[in-house]
Structure 1
Amino acid sequence: MKKYDAIYGRQSVDRVDSISIESQIEYCQYEIRGGAYKVFQDKGYSGKNTDRPQFQAMMEAIRRGEISRVVVYKLDRISRSILDFATMMAEFQEYGVEFVSCTEKFDTSTPMGRAMLNICIVFAQLERETIQMRVMDAYLSRSRKGFYMGGRIPYGYKLEPYLIDGKRTSHYVIDPAEADVVKLIFSMYAEPQTSYGDIVRYLIEYGIENARTKDGGWDRCRIADMVKNPIYVKADLDVYRFYKDQGTVLHNSPEDYIGTNGCYLYSDKNSGRKSVHLEGQHVVLAPHEGIVPSHIWLKARLKCLNNKQVARPLKASNTWLAGKIKCGKCGYALTIRKCKLKTRTIRYFICSRRMQTNRCEGVGGIEADAFENLVLSEMIEHLKQFETLSSPHTLQENPKIHDINVKIEQITEEIDKLLDKVANADGVLMDYINKRITELDAQANVYRQQLSELSPLENQEKCNVAELRDYMQHWDELSYDDKRAVVDQLIVTIKATENSCEITWKI
């Protein structure tokens, strides 16, 4: 069988600064100088692997013994992976095939030539990985500034041109007709007994079509995706706290959450599905206006987290007082621990500062079940003084309340950052941390006192007594997330020791 040369060309994308496949072939034809050859070319394929149809066809021809040389314009046209290139060269040697690069002269029959070839492929792979990193960094940078990053336009919105920092992008604008349907879906799903299927049947029964689908129909998956999407929420401090509790990375300050804008939720490369795992995801305030009030959106979103098919956050798995209960001596958070006995497991609260540094003489152990029952009875008793409260969001929030809540949240953030440094702190740093946390906690207490002195109706805006009482009557049937939602409506903070319990109420 008479052998021939193989010309191989590859181009991932058409760009002004990249050499075309046609030009690559012309260079290679000059190298062959009139000999017999066959062209193999892959257009639109990356060099990061060998999953390319024409490359595989060339390798099959090599295995059949048809090819004597493989000629390429440049080394990185055939491979950008060290492992793939080494495997390819081993196969070339097995079948007696020479390798020629038109712009990089290599003699693969000598050890020095093979060494130089391997060095070049290392730099080719480095270039590819550097390009990937630049693209990823640019994507993350733009997304965290609120730029529109493409994808399907959510139901309820239209897309219009927009400027951010003088750069052209796009943003969502509310479609009034579709926005009414979005509000209906969220308000229905916020009800405890309503399922995705119930909403789909309701929409079909009343002839509410989805113009985004070919048949105008709805399905459970589409409804579920909408309910989990923060694009729709009018993000306020409650939404900020929700994502913070879930371990989400927040790229805007608490004062930016003023109850108007929606949010973008982004995931890192190696993080899990956005709808399931919120820890490690990234939340950015979007430039568009939200559709759904935060209290309704949060009810629906918390209901999603309670679904058995959705992973629950670890923080809320041990106590429904997480994030509320503090040491009555030093102000540090109380953490929960478990102790296994022969017949049962005991949960108890302990001061995180005492546990980590033994510098607090406060809480050494509070039996969790008894303390939770005490707080529940205090909540029930506290609600008895109110005959009726305003229904959610019937009043406009007092700007002073929002400002004070922002300041408390900022103090909480600073305390959390200081606590993160405790593990590696020396004596000098620990003294500073203790002093600063004491100052911050005292400042936070002043703000909490200011909240308690405001008009009762101002503080009761987001509460509904009948609903809260109903929850408490079925307390044992509620999930941790529902219990925490009730606590969050009633309580600002709890300071506890073995002998005392001081509750700061929101209402």
Structure 2
Amino acid sequence: MNVENTTSRFVAIYCRVSTDEQAREGVSLDEQQERLKAYCRAMGWADEVMLFVDDGYSAKSTDRPQLKRLMTYIENGEISKVMVTKLDRMSRRLLDLLTLIDMFQQHQVAFISISESFDTNTPSGRLTLQVLGAVAEFERERIRERVLDNMFHAANQGKWLTQSPYGYRLEDKVLVIHEPEAKTVRQMYDLYLNQGLGFFAIARQLNEEGIPSRHNKEWSIRSVKLLLTNPVYKGTFVWNRVDSSMKKRTIKDDKDWIVIDDCLPAIIDKNTWERVQNKMNRPSIAPRAQTSPHLLGGILKCGNCGSGMSIGWSGSRDRRYRVYRCSANKNKGTCTSKQYKADEVESWFLEGLASLSDSLSHELVPHLVEKARSSQSSRGDQQITAAKNRYKRKVEAYTAGLIELQDLNEEKQRMERIIQENQQSDEQREKVQVEELKGMLESKIKTVLDAIYMLPVEEAKVLLRTLVSKVTVLGEGELDIELLFI
């Protein structure tokens, strides 16, 4: 490290002693000061010395008045070097010591300990610092393992160790549903999933109704999205998902997550929560198509090439009528699909939507149930993979002598329990109630059809988007209607 302009800055002499140390080891502040001042005289720094003395303070904490004063001088660029007689005068905790040295280096300040011949301004001093850093990193990993174990144990006990989410209160470290807020959570999921409102519209409606978020703040797009994606509302505990060690928070690899299902009181049922996530992950429709006064604008596709079909006009000046025409045909001439009268296509669509109820029990519902099973099975596989990865790390820690055999056995039992629970869940998924899903779909279809017949097209389309993903024209009177439900 090159220290620039050191002639205009001071050399800081830092001395510390606690009452216990002076009685036990005979360490005195006078002795420390004399040794450090003698070193400065030998190096020709005698005229640039500034003294910082903490009398009667332990090295277990960095909360010391003169150390804080020293930090202020360093941050103001007034110190070129910090000197101590021994490393433990600065701190007895390696992590604290390295944190302080790192802060010194950020401000181009050398750190010197005369007893250990430690000087971060020399190659040997920097090498020693790297070795200490490696040791500290090892210690951080051990601490991390212990924290993970404690969090996993707490989660299995149903305990919550951070601030409670909106909709809950904390009682003896256990989440308890707070019904006034839980009612708002259910309302937000309904507005997004069943009424077709986006994040901004939901935030605006809640703010207009005078419903505050946590700490009496107004709702925002971000706060609504975070609430709608938080798995706590379906009773799932997720920890260690975000890396907050850097300025920019990042999502960690899912193998490092701690995920435990059904260990918290749920406000939203799992099926509703999953449907909300699926809707968020679908491609959005262009704003212009959303506000189009034509029922199938933005979701009608060409059965010949797959391109979107846009609205146009045909016929004579006195007898003009709306048509749906393939965009690839209209703009590029690359598709030979014909145009269709819009009124006819929309009539086919309404007939097809109404007839879906007749095929629910025979075709549609079994297909949707199978898709739900596949999705749930994938999540179970992720939990098993994460459990196996944790066990693998514990095996490595046991081999290195970092943990006891009992810890390894507990992790193995935990892994086997997760595998067994997921196998049991597979059997339970086979018993999905088809009739319940059928009833939900019939009710949804009726609500959408009523909206189309009774509301303005722009308002009806908002509800239609909560049921239908896309409609494909296959030919005269032939449509393929794809639903959003699973």
Interval of TM-score (by shorter of Structure 1 and Structure 2): 0.3 to 0.5
- Which is greater in Rg? 2
Q: TM-score, normalised by structure 1?
A: 0.44
User: Greater share of helix residues, 1 or 2?
Assistant: 2
Q: TM-score, normalised by structure 2?
A: 0.45
